[in-house]
């Protein structure tokens, strides 16, 4: 590592003025070497701005944002939701950044009345509470505006039938039940939350012929088996249920009435009967206190392996006539207004290149973690940017800050915006940086396209971790090591210690607002946050009180999230040559392919297609990525920090166009809204990514025709991407 | 496969007369090829005897044995235990086989009164029931002779101290507690059963300074989380506890007063204060109904990862002054008489070569599964042998049937007998075939020295599985496949289907009577049985009623166990050339070594010793094994079935001497009673084997000096073994 005396001195000077102990972090871990994408001189200037930026976010200010944002439940489309939009807009304007509301008219459902869930046995009829208890220590929990337990986009329904317990409600669970001779056709199924997105559970239940779905939170998954329950601890107490959307997000997010098109006046809307992304069976969440009443009396066979949860009896699968359930949901469906808040800092040299930061604002109840911790981080980052602007900071590119609405129903605000501005975004978007539940604890985690791995890791080296006093990077590595068994920390073959291998940055699946950007438009995207023991997800207990007692009592991690998010954005907005490295992307695609080939061989499908073109395409992409990286470094040096440089501009445009080239306008099989050939949520994995989605799915389905076609499209995409890189250097 | 028309016809004829459908099994799976160890002609004759033998064991007869053996609780040394010895002796005599009692005087403890376990909080003092409830459906459970819940070889004690929950009570658990700042010194610890032998828990508790140990059965491990509880299902109900010995079995089994020497009149006995294989802190088992009372109020930190069990609250580790426990055990320690029953069928040609079948007879209560299912199988096998003898069968070698006493306290009967006859056994023992809990369900499982793998697999091909109508072999393979994930069933590298890979035969650790034979004397040994959902281990519910409802309602698996055990014994007793294949042994030792080397490399210990001599020794042993195997096959053919053949005799003697050569009279480090260099129970693994024990332990301890020395002794043993094989061929 080279040292830069001027920078070091600056840092020491700067650090003396900040309350947080940044110094030890910097001296331990931050090499005063160039920041990737900047000349040496540019790096010094950039670091100075970053330091000034990082001094702005503050715990008291963050606490106050969170207090205000969580004052009332603010479900998408409600007046309380509107009030938070105004709060965010006005705050950002007060920092000197232009900010505007941006409306869409979208389909939303609210429960007209609390759901009815009744247990019917030969001897009794028992109506379950289906209500989260008031907790005296937490004043929010007695708020009369808390929306009853319900699922977004569940239809109204009134069904009575025998009950079957279906574990997580995924295809292997139904297969296990079938093996036991238990059929769910015409029955109501009881699934537990976990292992996939709840919309998948609804789809699979419906596909299997169930006429109703009840989803409960098993104490094994986020209740007492994990630790003390609220208010004694951070985990889910026995009356708590998980709200949430059951949209078929894996087919298309956004307003179900306008798939692929923006929900603006004049756009045609589907009739309800033509909508294909919503379930037709009523779906209802309940607590484990209630679920116990249903599960304990169940007869039928003892549960198969993997079905037992944390309630204190042997689970049975039911399906007998003796234990029936009455489920009634009454929904108020309407097209309603939602409000994004879009704020812009214009770029100095490249105003038409946008670095987008996004986070949703709507919540199922108070949403302290989900999403207000993210909104708080965005507001504190905006406050930091505002201060820099006053000091004369001029980012090379524009920064767009987006506070999304309607995310909880199915990424509505972000999707409609991305659909409305699709053409412009394809041309102008440099990257999309998402945060959602930014803080529920202190453990850093990230997912992104591989081209952003180095950028994210580098930024975490320049932000201090409050708990350890080390850098976020170091704390992240330490946490990651801690969880791994000894055997994983070494390469057993060679006996070499691989414990220095870096913590993994995950693949983007879905479940938050990066989806329209990455998977519909092909914009390089990331998602980050600090996680912890968080058992109150989508419940009435995701409150300011919870956050103040468990998630982030000092609000230091809200500050840290703002610092980190802002630093990544500033680097993308300021870099002379964009720090997007496609060598990592090539390596990752190769790993995905190797993994898929194992499955293909295991299932004797490998003879059904030719793997050679794929290997060649990966190789070619990899080579072009390496050449482009070298060209970028050379061009940065040659540019000598010039504000405009044609060669760099061409390279930079190529570096964002590569991701676009990985999309295919024909879309994925059976879900054309998803166009990205490398990343999509799996049809059954839900939140989790299914890399090389169509190829992978074809292997799952043991369909070699589909596998061949999917591979061809991936190869085409890789060749397009390689071509984009090659052309940029000509 | 070659077919043998004469044999096939014989089989078809024979099978028509048997009630069980043996025919389909034979035609599907049994190749009428030669049985390993026999000439073609010898095979035909042997199969005829085996068929006649297999027709004898019968469900009604097995049911009657089990009913008689489980009529009363029969703890070692009691008059009820003596009555079962007489029953076994007289039954075997009635089959025409000489049988005698064989007494030893050993130290045993009984509880003088039920244990006192009290919870003491600032507000209350609660005495736990510590008593298994009467279950009206099962008449045995109201028997007044059921011994109270207690641990064999727990001392008397009366202690009061704060309580700490220590999970499974093994070293990593105490390390996790230390990390939380919780010290158990001077405290009483509460451990759950599982993951190791309970004597290990006692040793580790004492080593950590605890002054008392309570062990409970967590419902996650063998209670409701596994399935329905007794009497609705086979799992442990909430008042049930697990009795059992807390002897330091991993140091030396047998009478604690005479380690390494037989407990016969005239032998010197240790004074109690000189005994090193017993714990000095009181140990007491309780039920999860009782444990709930202690665990639920515990304060202190929330449990570390892996500590949570199946009770419906968040476990805390305790250690605070507010929750204390009073534990009082009052024991009646005395030297008491136990009674083995030894029965002998003299060999025709090689009377001085013994094939030993063994199974214990003493039980903590009724012992339907443990051990009476094994005793039943032995009695039915004996009945079969008796019938063959009447038909003129003359086994080449002697068969010795041993019904052991005092196994539950620490393998007392078998160890004292093996110690008394050590010299003779070293010379004469061909193999030791153990059964213990022969039947608790229908899933076959086996553990043995690798030289016996082929023999066991071959025998299972010739015994029908009652449930499936296939062979035991096929049912075993199918069960084994079922549990494996898809990825395990193929070789991902090559894509080839390895699903035909055979089910694993395990390594012998300890916890039953094979230990003195294999690990003290070096006699090739095996252990087999049919397992199932068995949650009443060592409880008052291990009864005839439990077996009749869950374990083996038709008693068909008792019959199957008798057939299989007898068939293996008959092959060893009848073979011209002993079917012991040391090529598998070499392969297995190599795999153990590779596995250990991974650990060594991971821990950077591999430079502390030279692995080359070990690799050479394995290679040499492997080559000698291959040459010997060829020589054996040739010699069998050359002998043409001669009743005596010097060359074969020499080879056969070598084949049993190899195992002896793998022992080292100096014994293992710190536990000289254990002499085998390849197999021993681990000091902390308890029941489970720790292969290459001293080498492996040295790596665990990161002690390269010990590792080097251990490896040298293993190399010496392997070289001795190779020499034995080489000399036999000269």
Residue A3 domain-assigned (yes or no): no
Among A79-83, A567-571, B639-643, B705-709, the least confident range: B639-643
Average pLDDT over residues A234-238: 98
**If you measure CA to CA, which chain B residue comes closest to A309?**
B225
- Confidence category of residue B50, pLDDT binned at 50, 70, 90: very high
Q: Give the best residue of B492, B595, B596, B603 to mutate against chain A (max A CB count within 10 A).
A: B492
Residue A525 domain-assigned (yes or no): yes
Q: Which two tokens stand for residue B301?
A: 């930190």
Residue A648 domain-assigned (yes or no): yes
Residue pair A397/A430 in contact by the 8 Å Cβ criterion: yes
A6 CA: distance to closest CA in chain B (Å): 42
CA distance B721 to B657: 8
Contact B314 A225 (CB under 8 A): yes
3-state secondary structure of B495: coil
Q: Which two tokens stand for residue B7?
A: 């044999």
HEC sequence for B554-575: CCHHHHHHHHHHHHHHHHHHHC
| Tens of pLDDT, residues B220-276 | 999 999 999 999 999 999 999 999 999 999 999 999 999 999 999 999 999 999 999
Length in residues, chain B? 730
The residue out of B574, B608, B623 marking a domain boundary is: B574
CA distance B459 to A416: 70
Contact A601 B490 (CB under 8 A): yes
Q: Which two tokens stand for residue A402?
A: 């987006």
Say yes or no to pLDDT of B24 above 50. Answer: no
Average pLDDT over residues B605-617: 95
pLDDT at A486: 57
**In chain B, what residues touch A488 (CB-CB under 8 Å)?**
none
Residue pair A16/A55 in contact by the 8 Å Cβ criterion: no
Angle at A471 between CA A465 and CA A473, to 5 degrees: 105
- Confidence category of residue B566, pLDDT binned at 50, 70, 90: very high
| Tens of pLDDT, residues B477-504 | 999 887 665 555 444 444 444 445 778 9
- Confidence category of residue B28, pLDDT binned at 50, 70, 90: very low
Length in residues, chain A? 730
Type and span of the H or E element at B152: strand B151-152
pTM, entire model: 0.91
CA distances from B683 to B173, B276, B417, B500 (A): 16, 14, 24, 35
Residue B25 domain-assigned (yes or no): no
Are A228 and A355 members of one domain? no
Residue pair A411/A512 in contact by the 8 Å Cβ criterion: yes
Residue B213 gets the label, from left (phi > 0), alpha (psi -120 to 50) or beta, of beta
Are B565 and B442 members of one domain? yes
The residue out of B519, B544, B574 marking a domain boundary is: B574
Residue pair B487/B499 in contact by the 8 Å Cβ criterion: no
pLDDT: is A24 or A635 the higher one? Answer: A635
Are A352 and A259 members of one domain? no
- Confidence category of residue A100, pLDDT binned at 50, 70, 90: very high
Say yes or no to pLDDT of B509 above 90. Answer: yes
Number of H helices, E strands in chain B: 23, 18
3-state secondary structure of A646: helix
β-bridge pairing B283-286 and A496-497? unpaired
- How many structural domains does chain B have? 3
HEC sequence for A480-491: HHHHCCHHHHEE
CA distance B128 to B86: 39
pLDDT at B34: 87
CA distance B356 to B104: 19
Listed in sequence order, the residues at least 6 apart from B49 whose beta carbon sits closer than 8 Å to its beta carbon are B388, B393, B570, B574
Q: Which of B490, B486, B487, B464 is nearest to B476 (CA)?
A: B464
| Tens of pLDDT, residues A174-233 | 999 999 999 999 999 999 999 999 999 999 999 999 999 999 999 999 999 999 999 999
**In chain A, what residues touch B234 (CB-CB under 8 Å)?**
none
Helix orientation angle between B22-29 and B472-483, rounded to the nearest 10 degrees: 70
Q: Which two tokens stand for residue A181?
A: 């001779």
CA distance B413 to B570: 24
Are B455 and B382 members of one domain? yes
Are A381 and A491 members of one domain? yes
Residue pair A187/A162 in contact by the 8 Å Cβ criterion: yes
The residue out of B329, B358, B382 marking a domain boundary is: B329
HEC sequence for A354-379: EEEEEEECCCCCCCHHHHHHHHHHHH
Residue B426 domain-assigned (yes or no): yes
Angle at A578 between CA A573 and CA A582, to 5 degrees: 140
Residue B505 domain-assigned (yes or no): yes
HEC sequence for B336-364: EEEEEEEEEECCCCEEEEEEEEEEECCCC
Listed in sequence order, the residues at least 6 apart from A56 whose beta carbon sits closer than 8 Å to its beta carbon are A380, A383, A384, A387
State the catalytic residue, choosing from B50, B51, B407, B624: B407
Listed in sequence order, the residues at least 6 apart from A422 whose beta carbon sits closer than 8 Å to its beta carbon are A520, A521
Rg value, chain B, Cα: 26
Contact B314 A486 (CB under 8 A): no
Q: Which two tokens stand for residue B104?
A: 């030893």
Say yes or no to pLDDT of B690 above 60. Answer: yes
Could you give the residue ranges of the DSSP H alpha helices within A159-231? Answer: 171-179, 198-207, 219-222
Enclosing domain of residue B370: 61-105+339-574
Average pLDDT over residues A301-319: 97
The CATH number linked to B450 is 3.40.630.10
Residue B425 domain-assigned (yes or no): yes
Residue A257 gets the label, from left (phi > 0), alpha (psi -120 to 50) or beta, of alpha
Say yes or no to pLDDT of A29 above 60. Answer: no
Rg value, chain A, Cα: 26
pLDDT at A255: 98
pLDDT at A218: 98
- Confidence category of residue A361, pLDDT binned at 50, 70, 90: very high
The CATH number linked to B263 is 3.50.30.30
CA distance A299 to A315: 9
**In chain A, what residues touch B226 (CB-CB under 8 Å)?**
308, 314
CA distances from A225 to B50, B220, B311 (A): 54, 11, 8
Are B388 and B516 members of one domain? yes
Are B504 and B607 members of one domain? no
Interface of A with B (CB under 8 A): 219, 224-229, 233, 235, 302, 308, 310-314, 486-487, 489-490, 492, 494-495, 497, 598, 601-602, 604, 606
| Tens of pLDDT, residues B519-539 | 999 999 999 999 999 999 999
Q: What are phi and psi of A520, to 5 degrees?
A: -105, -40
Are A100 and A130 members of one domain? no
The CATH number linked to B613 is 1.20.930.40
Type and span of the H or E element at A654: helix A646-661
Q: Which of B291, B332, B368, B410 is nearest to B538 (CA)?
A: B368
CA distances from B61 to A428, B14, B139, B435, B556 (A): 86, 21, 22, 19, 11
Could you give the residue ranges of the DSSP H alpha helices within A30-127? Answer: 40-54, 59-69, 79-94
Are A226 and A252 members of one domain? yes
Task: Report the complex ipTM.
Answer: 0.88
Mean confidence (pLDDT) of chain B:
93
**If you measure CA to CA, which chain A residue comes closest to B486?**
A602
Contact B495 A228 (CB under 8 A): no
Residues of chain B above pLDDT 70, percent: 93
Say yes or no to pLDDT of A2 above 50. Answer: no
Residue pair A300/A181 in contact by the 8 Å Cβ criterion: no
Q: Which two tokens stand for residue B138?
A: 């099962």
Are A423 and A499 members of one domain? yes
Residue A54 domain-assigned (yes or no): no
pLDDT: is A16 or B698 the higher one? Answer: B698
Listed in sequence order, the residues at least 6 apart from A335 whose beta carbon sits closer than 8 Å to its beta carbon are A105, A106, A107, A108, A257, A269
B407 carries an active-site annotation:
yes
Q: Give the best residue of B591, B601, B607 to mutate against chain A (max A CB count within 10 A).
A: B601
Contact B314 A606 (CB under 8 A): no
Q: Which two tokens stand for residue A623?
A: 């080579």
Contact A310 B313 (CB under 8 A): no
Are A441 and A483 members of one domain? yes
Residue in this structure with the two tokens 């060829």, named with its chain if needed: B630
Are A76 and A133 members of one domain? no
**If you measure CA to CA, which chain B residue comes closest to A598?**
B492
């Amino acid at each position: 590592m080279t040292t830069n005396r001027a920078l070091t001195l600056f840092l020491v000077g700067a650090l003396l003025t900040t309350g947080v102990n940044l110094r030890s972090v910097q001296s331990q871990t931050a090499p005063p070497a160039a920041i990737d994408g900047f000349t040496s001189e540019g790096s010094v200037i950039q670091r100075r701005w970053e330091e000034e930026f990082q001094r702005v976010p503050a715990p008291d200010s963050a606490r106050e944002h969170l207090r205000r944002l969580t004052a009332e439940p603010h479900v998408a489309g409600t007046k309380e939701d509107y009030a938070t939009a105004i709060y965010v807009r006005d705050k950002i304007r007060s920092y000197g950044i232009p900010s505007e509301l941006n409306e869409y008219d979208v389909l939303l459902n609210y429960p007209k009345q609390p759901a009815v869930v009744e247990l019917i046995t030969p001897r009794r009829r028992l109506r379950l509470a289906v209500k989260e208890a008031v907790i005296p220590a937490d004043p929010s929990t007695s708020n009369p505006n808390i929306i009853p337990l319900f699922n977004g986009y569940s239809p109204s329904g009134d069904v009575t039938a025998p009950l079957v317990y279906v574990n997580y409600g995924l295809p292997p669970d139904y297969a296990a039940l079938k093996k036991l001779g238990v059929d769910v056709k015409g029955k109501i199924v009881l699934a537990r939350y976990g292992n996939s997105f709840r919309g998948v559970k609804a789809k699979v239940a419906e596909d299997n012929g169930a006429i109703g779905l009840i989803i409960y939170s098993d104490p094994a998954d986020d209740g007492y088996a994990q630790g003390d329950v609220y208010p004694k601890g951070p985990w889910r107490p026995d009356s708590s249920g998980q709200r949430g959307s059951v949209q078929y997000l894996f087919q298309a997010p956004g307003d179900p009435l306008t798939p692929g098109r923006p929900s603006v006046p004049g756009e045609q809307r589907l009739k309800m009967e033509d909508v294909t992304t919503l379930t037709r069976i009523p779906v209802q969440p309940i607590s484990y206190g209630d679920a116990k009443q249903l599960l304990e009396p169940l007869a039928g066979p003892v549960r198969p392996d993997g079905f037992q949860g944390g309630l204190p009896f042997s689970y049975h699968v039911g399906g007998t006539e003796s234990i029936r359930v009455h489920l009634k949901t009454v929904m108020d469906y309407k097209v309603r207004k939602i409000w994004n808040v879009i704020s812009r800092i214009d770029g100095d040299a490249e105003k038409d290149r946008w670095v987008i930061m996004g986070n949703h604002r709507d919540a199922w109840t108070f949403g302290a973690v989900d999403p207000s911790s993210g909104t708080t981080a965005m507001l504190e980052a905006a406050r930091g940017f505002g201060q820099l602007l006053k000091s004369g900071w001029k980012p090379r590119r524009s920064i767009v800050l987006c506070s999304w609405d309607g995310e909880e129903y199915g990424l509505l605000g972000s999707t409609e915006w991305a659909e409305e501005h699709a053409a412009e975004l394809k041309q102008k978007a440099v990257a999309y940086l998402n945060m959602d539940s930014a803080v529920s604890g202190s453990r850093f985690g990230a997912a992104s396209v591989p081209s952003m791995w180095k950028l994210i890791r580098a930024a975490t080296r320049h932000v201090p971790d409050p708990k350890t006093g080390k850098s976020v990077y170091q704390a992240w590595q330490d946490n990651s090591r801690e969880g791994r068994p000894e055997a994983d920390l070494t390469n057993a073959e060679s006996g070499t210690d691989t414990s220095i291998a870096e913590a993994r940055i995950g693949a983007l699946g879905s479940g938050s607002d990066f989806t329209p950007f990455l998977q519909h438009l092909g914009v390089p995207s990331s998602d980050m946050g600090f996680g912890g023991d968080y058992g109150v997800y989508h419940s009435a207990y995701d409150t300011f009180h919870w956050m103040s007692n468990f998630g982030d009592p000092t609000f230091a991690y809200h500050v840290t999230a703002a610092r980190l998010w802002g630093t990544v954005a500033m680097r993308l907005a300021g870099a002379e040559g964009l720090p997007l490295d496609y060598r990592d992307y090539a390596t990752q695609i190769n790993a995905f392919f190797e993994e898929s080939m194992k499955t293909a061989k295991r299932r004797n499908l490998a003879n059904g297609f030719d793997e050679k073109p794929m290997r060649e395409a990966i190789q070619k992409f990899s080579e072009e990525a390496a050449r482009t990286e070298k060209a970028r470094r050379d061009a940065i040096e040659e540019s000598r920090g010039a504000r405009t440089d044609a060669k760099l501009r061409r390279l930079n445009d190529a570096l964002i166009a590569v991701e676009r080239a990985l999309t295919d306008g024909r879309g994925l099989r059976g879900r054309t809204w998803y166009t990205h050939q490398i990343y999509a949520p799996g049809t059954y994995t839900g939140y989790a990514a299914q890399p090389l989605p169509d190829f992978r799915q074809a292997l799952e389905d043991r369909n070699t025709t589909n596998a061949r076609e999917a591979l061809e499209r991936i190869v085409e995409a890789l060749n397009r991407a390689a071509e984009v890189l090659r052309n940029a250097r000509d």
